[in-house]
Structure 1
Amino acid sequence: MTPDAARVTCLSCGQANRVPLAKKGAGPKCATCGARLASGEVAAVDVQIHDKATRADDLPLIVDYWAPWCGPCRMMAPEFAKAAASLQTKARFAKIDTEQFPAVSQRLQIRGIPLLILYTKGQEIARLSGARPATEIEAFVRQHL
């Protein structure tokens, strides 16, 4: 990608988009489905979109690995959403259900949930395990960007 543009995978449809960096904060939309690419909300993704976004995106992406039966995961969900809204222009937020997509957990060697993994430019940057308040999630993302 050129230095003045970033590759961003739509977390709704999986389409790769080229976003001019100057317009990143202006609410760019997917060229295919029209979904906002940096909405400040947490997107629930499937394994295909997860893999595409974590391997190819130029913008930071933090993924919450969780399961519906996990009490701490459910407790952290509103805090993760608060952090997503706060860091809307800095990083995108997604979550993937490890019970529905167990192959992701196996491949990433996830031993416990909730687990947050921060990716940027196709690389895993850092991990943060356990349920955390929004302030700790935000500090984690800022520390590694």
Structure 2
Amino acid sequence: MTEKRRVVCPNCDSINAVPTDRPAEAAKCGRCHAKLFQGFPIDLSSERLERHVANSDIPIVVDFWAPWCGPCRAMGPIYAQTTKSIEPRVRFAKVNVDENPQAAARYSIQGIPALVAFREGKVVARQAGLTDAQALRGWVERLAA
């Protein structure tokens, strides 16, 4: 029997069982048929974040940010580039703290940009502030291992 991983659809938030013996890059949602991995970070609300964190068998890295934050805007392209190179081993998401203050409060976000990594529904790592592409990639690669 083939082992499967739960992956939440970035489009409709349905929980999908993705066989580990098939390329995850080609996986599509069983409900809405959108690609499960699209090569860019997904925007999540507080509610959607909780659904993804609670129902995903792959690590999730979340960038807590705000549009008025200069370092956050500088981090955006670096984060997107890292997403393209590492996904689907890790899900990348973004949460706007101005629109989702309850998520920021729940995860004790005190400064932005802030990266929080989740595995099996729990926070496993944090990183605060602007970082370069190489450091970010190394941090995420260690989480994906």
TM range (shorter): over 0.9
> Contact 2:2–2:21 at 8 Å: present in 1 too?
no
> Contact 1:24–1:89 at 8 Å: present in 2 too?
no
Question: What is the match of residue 99 of structure 2?
Answer: 100
Question: What is the match of residue 118 of structure 1?
Answer: 117
Alignment of 1:25-104 (within 5 A): 25-104=24-103
**Counterparts of 1:23 and 1:46 in 2: how far apart (Å)?**
30
Q: Counterpart amino acid of 1:102?
A: P
Alignment of 1:121-132 (within 5 A): 121-132=120-131
Q: Which runs of 5+ in 2 are unaligned?
A: none
Q: Which runs of 5+ in 1 are unaligned?
A: none
Question: What is the match of residue 143 of structure 1?
Answer: 142
Q: Counterpart amino acid of 1:106?
A: A
Cα gap change, 1:23 to 1:74, in 2 (>3 Å): same
Shift of 1:40: 2.0
TM-score (norm 2): 0.92
CA-atom RMSD, angstroms? 1.6
Q: Secondary structure of the equivalent of 1:73?
A: helix
Aligned length: 144
TM-score (norm 1): 0.92
Cα displacement string for residues 13-68 of structure 1 (whole angstroms, at most 9, x for unaligned residues): 11111111112434201112222112221111122221111122101111100011
Cα displacement string for residues 78-115 of structure 1 (whole angstroms, at most 9, x for unaligned residues): 00000001102321111010100000111111111101
**Counterparts of 2:45 and 2:34 in 1: how far apart (Å)?**
16
**Counterparts of 2:121 and 2:59 in 1: how far apart (Å)?**
9
**Counterparts of 2:9 and 2:15 in 1: how far apart (Å)?**
6
Q: Secondary structure of the equivalent of 1:36?
A: coil
